[in-house]
Structure 1
Amino acid sequence: MTWHLLTTNKWPFHIQVRQLRHAIKNIDMIHVRDKEASLQRLKQQIDQLRKIGVNRERIILNEHADAAIAWDLGGVHLPGHSSWKGKDIKEKAPGLQVGASVHSQDEAVTREEEGVDYLYYGHVFSSESKPDTPPRGLEALQAVVQSVSVPVMAIGGITRDRIAEVSQTGAAGIALISGFWEAERPEEEASYFNHFGQINYETT
């Protein structure tokens, strides 16, 4: 299993960078998501990540495909409402990894047909970011995994005590927000998730 860490709006970015400094070696991809930020501010955030040693190919930018291409990042992630299609982005930047968020099997199949490389599906468990929306659960996650051939990553309420059952659905990985940022020792959480992913990969 691979895992992505999404940035959060709960704390100033410089505080997030401080937490990341000792955890980045155990994080596969860092997904910069700040829906309120200008492109200038997003570029500043990416520059801060670069200064602590995060390679460009390990940075995913949310939504802004043209900026991800211009800044030579590793990927772009499309929110559910995005009108971008994976194949259109690939025409501009064949090497760019393109992901998309989906919330049903139909959306997953459509996004796969549009040429994305991977999907986020959720929220799987109760999530602080969506307190008024019921979680979709593990059975729904498994159904989505089985409906497409591209990797599906679980998001929403993922914690270390839930990661084993998530892996049993066939999900290719997880995407974390509060599971990392709310932890008492985030760098230990990063080490745990990375270690679990290696074991899971080696035994499947």
Structure 2
Amino acid sequence: MKLIVISDPICFEAEASLINQLFDAGMSVFHLRKPQTNKLAYAKLITQIDECYHDRIALHQFHELATNFPLIKRLHYPEWLRKTIAEETEHHKQAIIKSTSIHDLKDMNQLRGFDYTFYGPVFNSLSKPGYAGVAHADLVLPEHKNACKIIALGGIDAKKIQQVKHMGFDGLAVLGAIWNNKQLTLESFTSLINRNIKKSN
């Protein structure tokens, strides 16, 4: 299954170094989401990430920075921003990978031109206490005609990978499982990678 890591929403010391280590350890897609960070700090963090990994970064904010960092070809559109996608993508001449988010499965029918969407929170959030999951234990995703893949988000750690797989998701995204204890970030990521490979065989 596709494994996506979402950044800690708050900037912290030596963050870029840890992100580079995650890439070195096999992180294939990294969503850079910093809702309270200004454009200058957001761009500075990108410059501190090794350029060879820029094609694995998805921008959640300041999409115009893709012009300054030409190797970045992934843009994420939150639900509120999705309606502007037609106008914005006209300004990007290179092919881009587009993602979005939904909180109701019926919204899948409205998604066109997106490569994948986050859906959740599937389980009780690890990064937002009190943010309850919406999935029941026997959830199985309905078949849909849309080519957009569905990525499980919310409350996912290594122990839940098999359950996510049985639910029919195309992949999973993690946040709290990686960043809640930064001293164990690499260990937690390795555990997710190993469990994902084992359960996919």
TM-score scaled by length of structure 2: 0.83
SS in 2 for 1:82: helix
The aligned residue for residue 23 of structure 2 is 24
2:114 and 2:139 map into 1 onto residues whose CA distance is: 18
Amino acid of the structure 1 residue aligned with 2:169? A
1:98: how far off? 0.5
Answer whether contact 1:124 1:141 (CA < 8 A) is retained.
Answer: no
- Report what 2:133 is aligned to: 135
Residue 193 of structure 1 corresponds to which residue in structure 2? Answer: 192
Distance in 2 (CA, whole Å) between partners of 1:119 and 1:42 is: 23
Deviation of the 1:84 alpha carbon: 4.1
Cα deviation 1:156-201 (Å, max 9, x = unaligned): 1111111111011221211111111124522122223223334455
Where structure 1 has 5 or more consecutive residues not aligned to the other structure, the ranges are: none
For residues 112-191 of structure 1, the aligned pairs below 5 Å read 112-113=111-112, 115-137=113-135, 142-143=140-141, 146-147=143-144, 148-183=146-181, 185-191=184-190
Cα–Cα, structure 1 residues 86 and 123, in superposed 2: closer, same or farther, change >3 Å? Answer: same
For 2:168 and 2:19, how far apart are their aligned partners in 1?
Answer: 28
Separation in 2 of the partners of 1:167 and 1:41?
37
CA contact (8 A) 1:4 1:31 kept: yes
Q: For residue 54 of structure 1, report the CA deviation from its aligned partner.
A: 5.0
Identity %: 19
Distance 2:131 2:179 in 1: 21
Within a 5 Å distance, the mapping from 1:50-89 to structure 2 comes to 50=50, 55-72=53-70, 73-84=72-83, 86=85, 88-89=87-88
CA separation in 2, counterparts of 1:49 and 1:189? 20
Contact kept, 8 Å, 2:117 with 2:148, in 1: the verdict is: yes
Indicate the SS of the match to 1:45: helix
Aligned pairs for 1:5-20 (under 5 A) are: 5-10=5-10, 12=12, 14-20=13-19
CA distance in 1, matches of 2:127, 2:98: 23
- With a CA cutoff of 8 Å and minimum separation of 6, indicate the structure with the bigger relative contact order: 1
Q: 1:102: which partner in 2?
A: 102
TM-score when scaled to structure 1? 0.82
**Deviation of 1:83 (Å):** 3.8
Gaps of 5+ in 2: none
How far apart, in 2, do the equivalents of 1:74 and 1:172 lie? Answer: 21
RMSD: 2.6
Aligned length: 196
Cα shift at 1:33? 0.5
Q: Is the 8 A contact 2:127 2:175 kept in 1?
A: no
Tell me: CA distance 1:130–1:80, structure 2 relative to 1, closer, same or farther (3 Å): farther
Greater shift, 85-94 or 20-29, is seen at 85-94
